[in-house]
Structure 1
Amino acid sequence: MRNLSALSGVSLWIVDNRFVLFMLNKYLPKTLLRRLILVSLACYATLPATALSDTRDFTLPDLNGETRSLSDYRGQWVLVNYWATWCPPCLEELPELEVFHTGSEGRAVVLGVNMESISTDRLSSFVEQQFLSYPVLLASERPKKDQLLGPVDGLPTSYLVTPEGKVVARQVGPITAKAIDDFIVRYEAKDKGDR
């Protein structure tokens, strides 16, 4: 199934295969937004039940050539962000990801997975210019399936992984630090209520 959120201006958070939260593009007319929400809900209803519940581990090199695995970060929330330097929405969200990463030290980490053919030196220079302190990992334009947590239908695509290693949310399109924090707070409150 193709995710329509990257094309429509409506970003979807798919949560525990039960909830859908919307980040609406403020420039779209309200009637169009209503239609897009209905289409997005219809698409969500067709997702398989295992769409986000199966957590995969992956191992990728970072900018220093050291390998990093998702499982290295167990015990912390992890936002895995698939992006590229040529992608304007990706560039728009970089400062937000940095704010989330630095403000969540010890509790959460951002892993930026670059998906383009670019030299390590050039990417390192770009990361320095953007003042990014979170780990940037190297995939390729066409990564292998074992390098992805799930579908990457457009860039940026972000997956949120619990400290236990369970993928609980996916978003295609830019995200803000506040939206990530709010989601984690709601998820943790819901999780405590389920116990």
Structure 2
Amino acid sequence: MKYISKIVALALLLTGAWAGQPSFAADRPDFSYRDINGKVHRLSDYRGKWVLVNYWATWCPPCLEELPELEVFHDSHKDKDAVVLGLNMEDLGADRLRAFVEEQFLSYPILMAGSRPREVLGAVPGLPTSFLVSPEGEVVARQVGPVDGKSIESFIREYKKNKK
């Protein structure tokens, strides 16, 4: 099942379904949320890097399935060209969410968006939903459903190639 979902995700990516979200070049969307340690993160803090904004919840099986993929992607890119920001869509206390994050060995920032976050980047019709924001601050892709690191890397490569 896991293998099939990766094939479907890659097929959607390559057919352009990932890029179903229009660009917001004119207004460069921004948000700010506190992470599980109280630090405020703004999307604009990460300009110059690709940012995968992932809306998720601890009760969501597909979200839990993609967490290791997001961690590997973040870990291999954080010091170079990309980061992951996890926006948790639950009304959990910081201590409870921090315990969950530690159990999952996640190192990327987990932001406490709450169960009704502002949909600054676009609609979040289901979980998980991920938005890919370019280094210039433009939303260039949206994926409803799980993503994996290889698909994200492939999309970024194709986007760069087509932008030249």
Is residue 2:32 matched to residue 1:59?
Answer: yes
Corresponding residue number in structure 2 for 1:98:
71
**Aligned AA for 1:96?**
E
After TM superposition, the runs of 4+ consecutive aligned structure 1 residues lying more than 6 A away are: none
Cα distance in 1, alignment partners of residues 58 and 106 from structure 2: 13
> C-alpha offsets along residues 144-191 of structure 1, whole Å, 9 cap, x if unaligned?
34xx31100000000000101111000000001100001011111111
Match among 61, 81, 89 for residue 88 of structure 1: 61
**What TM-score does the superposition give when structure 1 sets the normalisation length?**
0.72
Q: For this pair of structures, how many residues does the alignment match? A: 150
List runs of 5+ in structure 2 lacking aligned partners. 1-7
Q: Which has the higher contact order (CA 8 A, sep 6+)?
A: 2
Cα distance in 1, alignment partners of residues 38 and 70 from structure 2: 22
Corresponding residue number in structure 2 for 1:30:
none
1:77 deviates by: 0.3
> C-alpha offsets along residues 70-105 of structure 1, whole Å, 9 cap, x if unaligned?
000000000000000000000000000001101112
1:21 deviates by: 3.8
Cα distance in 1, alignment partners of residues 159 and 88 from structure 2: 27
Corresponding residue number in structure 1 for 2:118:
144
1:64 deviates by: 1.1
Which stretch of the first structure deviates more once superposed, 157-166 or 100-109?
A: 100-109
Cα distance in 2, alignment partners of residues 138 and 163 from structure 1: 23
Match among 145, 148, 153 for residue 181 of structure 1: 153
Is residue 2:87 matched to residue 1:113?
Answer: yes
Is residue 2:67 matched to residue 1:71?
Answer: no
List runs of 5+ in structure 1 lacking aligned partners. 1-9, 23-43, 45-50
1:107 deviates by: 0.7
Corresponding residue number in structure 1 for 2:3:
none
**Aligned AA for 2:162?**
K
1:143 deviates by: 1.6
Cα distance in 2, alignment partners of residues 20 and 57 from structure 1: 24
Largest Rg, 1 or 2 = 1
Equivalent residue of 1:81, what SS? strand
Aligned-residue identity in percent: 60
